[in-house]
Structure 1
Amino acid sequence: MTKLAYIGLGNMGLPMAVNLVKAGYEVYGKNRSQGKEETFAGQGGKVGKSVAQLAKEADVVMTCLPMPDDVENMIMGKDGLLEHAKEGLTIIDFSTVSPELNVKIYEQANEKGVHFLDAPISGGTTGAEAATLAIMVGGDEKVFQEVTPILETVGENITYAGPSGSGTKVKLINQYFVGMHTMAVSEAMHLAAEAGIDRDLLYGVLSKSFAQSRIYDRHYPDFIAKEQYTPGFALELLHKDLRLMSAMAEEANVSLEFGQSITKAFAKAEEMELGKEDMSALYKYVKSK
């Protein structure tokens, strides 16, 4: 049986790892906070292995970490996965980092006889729980085909995007849309309130018109209408993705006028200490202007 390891049991990683357990895989979970490991163990997962042990014993190691530095340190750092990896190990990173970091990891992994795929995900915590995530994969197509059954256990829309870094490029363009739609929802809801239009009435109309979007369907009823912003996906993480998107655009010599203004808006929202709240809390920043 294929032995799996999952490092990063956060809002996305934990339900993904649990779905792998439910599918019958032997899965070892690892997380910085002991509580998440205990939760995973309570749902049938295995815990208690070091990063070195996982790199030597697992057939496939998956990572889902918040920041690029976390990914770089976990995979390429001292006592990281590559330092201890057995030949033939496959590493799948579900995090959103930069295409350049993907290629750097891919090249170092190849030198050690290790396979690496960048496989960023989209679909939120509901998608992670329901195993309906979109997964955009970059790397060697042969390796992608070999691990497709694993990916199909945690996602529904699995796409091979091309060479290393390609999955991340697709994901960053996705995040550009998410940022734009988040700003549009925030400003539209604020405009409605100030213009004396009932927001529930407006949502009932717009959600059945060309203004409908999955972000609107998420942000308004689940967060803005309830005035609660417990993060499903933190604002600071979307801001990080938008910064990466801006860097990708600059590298491609493409000017994104709206992208620049939206990224600045998220930066200002973080200055208001909204970073740990859900990304829909951008509405609070818009209201404050």
Structure 2
Amino acid sequence: MTTNVKRTIGFIGTGVMGKSMASNLLKAGYALNVFTRTKERANELLEAGAKWKQSVADLAATSDVIITIVGYPTDVEEVYFGQAGILENAKAGTYIIDMTTSKPYLAERIYKEAKLVGISALDAPVSGGDIGAREGKLAIMVGGEEQAFQSILPIFEVLGQNIILQGPAGAGQHTKMCNQITIATNMVGVCESITYAKKAGLDPTKVLESITTGAAGSWSLNNLAPRMIAENYAPGFYVKHFIKDMKIALETAKEMNMMTPGLELSLSLYTQLAEQGDEDSGTQALIKLFE
């Protein structure tokens, strides 16, 4: 793996995943500028050598590559557009990478407006949760131009292992929707399976030993089912953010005139879970509804 230490990376968003991703970039030798709404959330990164920037505009003006991983599409719009946003303040020749799971049309808009001012934009949402972010093993789904992708690839290689250019702007976000649709129905199945094992008088941990290596195997079964059994609901990925993702997927699917019964069921269950007070829990907390 090669890294270009001459590039300064600006990083916006230091949540559950973003903090680990930024930390891995520092460890790889990159100079890092950071900005987040609450400075305290960036303290560990600052202690590790990152430089604090007072605003999005300041970060954009002083960075060669800008990575954002924020909460919602509205946050993406706020960060990228307007006089205080990235597009207005970044230098020509800058690479901007939105790794938020967001709306495909928004990725297309960022790409088009960036190109007008000589900035290269990629949409690159990720999958792998807190574990993948911490270990630098994220799956990275990229939309944009080949030249920009190849230029940024060494940075992506610090953050993940499965890195694929899926197509033009917006393709990364569409691919992430495929990922979230698959997870949505799978999580219902995982919850039902663990609950069934308990009600049948089985040791669910031993059941996992049998079924994770067979046809039922999945990332959620391997990584989240043990947390369900341990009643560990700490967020590797927030319920509220998963609901946001499913709503984007459902909205986009309707625009393409396709049926999504599994997605609709999962969204209704997670909405119920959030209404019960678990919106800030990890997605594995869905099992509470079944128990």
**TM-score in same-fold range (> 0.5):** yes
SS in 2 for 1:185: helix
- Structure 1, residues 25-76: CA drift from partner, whole Å, max 9, x if none? 1111111122222110112222234221221121111001011111111011
CA distance in 2 between counterparts of 1:248 and 1:167 reads 14
Which residue identity does 1:208 align to in structure 2? T
Cα distance in 2, alignment partners of residues 64 and 268 from structure 1: 26
Displaced runs of 4 or more, over 6 A? none
Match of 1:206? 211
- 1:136 is aligned with what amino acid? M
Q: Alignment identity in percent?
A: 35
Residue 3 of structure 2 corresponds to none
Instruction: Provide the residue aligned with 2:231 in structure 1.
Output: 227
Note if 1:236 corresponds to 2:240.
yes
TM-score calculated relative to the size of structure 1? 0.95
Are the equivalent residues in 2 in contact too, given 1:55–1:81 (CA < 8 A)?
yes
CA-CA distance at 1:236 after TM superposition: 1.2
Alignment: residue pair count? 286
The structure 1 residue matched to 2:72, chosen from 67, 70, 78, is 67
Q: After alignment, is 102-111 or 167-176 more displaced?
A: 102-111
For the residues of structure 2 that align with 1:201 and 1:64, how far apart are their CA atoms?
Answer: 37
Q: 1:78 to 1:268 in 2, by over 3 A?
A: farther
Say yes or no: does 1:121 pair with 2:131.
Answer: no
Whole-Å Cα distance in 2 between the matches of residues 112 and 192 of structure 1?
Answer: 57
Question: Is the contact made by 1:18 and 1:44 (CA closer than 8 Å) also made in structure 2?
Answer: no
One-letter code of the match for 1:255?
M
1:131 is displaced (CA, Å) by 0.9
Q: Distance in 1 between matches of 2:32 and 2:20?
A: 12
> Aligned with 2:178: secondary structure?
helix
Post-superposition offset of 1:173: 0.5
For residues 264 and 14 of structure 2, what CA distance do their matches in structure 1 show? Answer: 32
| Alpha-carbon separation, structure 1, partners of 2:236 and 2:161 | 20
> How far apart in 1 are the matches of 2:148 and 2:174?
19
Aligned counterpart for 1:195 among listed residues 183, 195, 200: 200
Gap regions ≥5 residues in structure 1: none
Out of 21, 30, 35, the position equivalent to 1:16 is 21
- Show the counterpart of 1:36: 41
Pairwise CA RMSD: 1.3
For residues 225 and 287 of structure 2, what CA distance do their matches in structure 1 show?
Answer: 10
Tell which deviates more after alignment, 39-48 or 56-65: 39-48
Letter in 1 for 2:268: K
* Aligned residue number for residue 273 of structure 1: 277
2:267 aligned to which of 255, 263, 266: 263
Q: What's the counterpart of residue 253 of structure 1?
A: 257
**Secondary structure of the residue that 1:273 maps to in structure 2?**
helix
Alignment equivalent of 2:81, drawn from 73, 76, 80: 76
Alignment match of 1:97 (pick from 71, 80, 102)? 102
In structure 1, distance between residues paired with 2:208 and 2:131: 21
Question: Given that residues 98 and 125 in structure 2 are in contact (C-alpha distance below 8 angstroms), is that contact kept between their aligned partners in structure 1?
Answer: yes
Question: Quick check: 76-85 or 275-284, which moved more?
Answer: 76-85
Whether contact under 8 Å (1:28, 1:49) holds in the other structure is no
Q: 2:188 and 2:241 mapped to 1: Cα distance?
A: 15
Deviation for aligned residue 1:152: 1.0
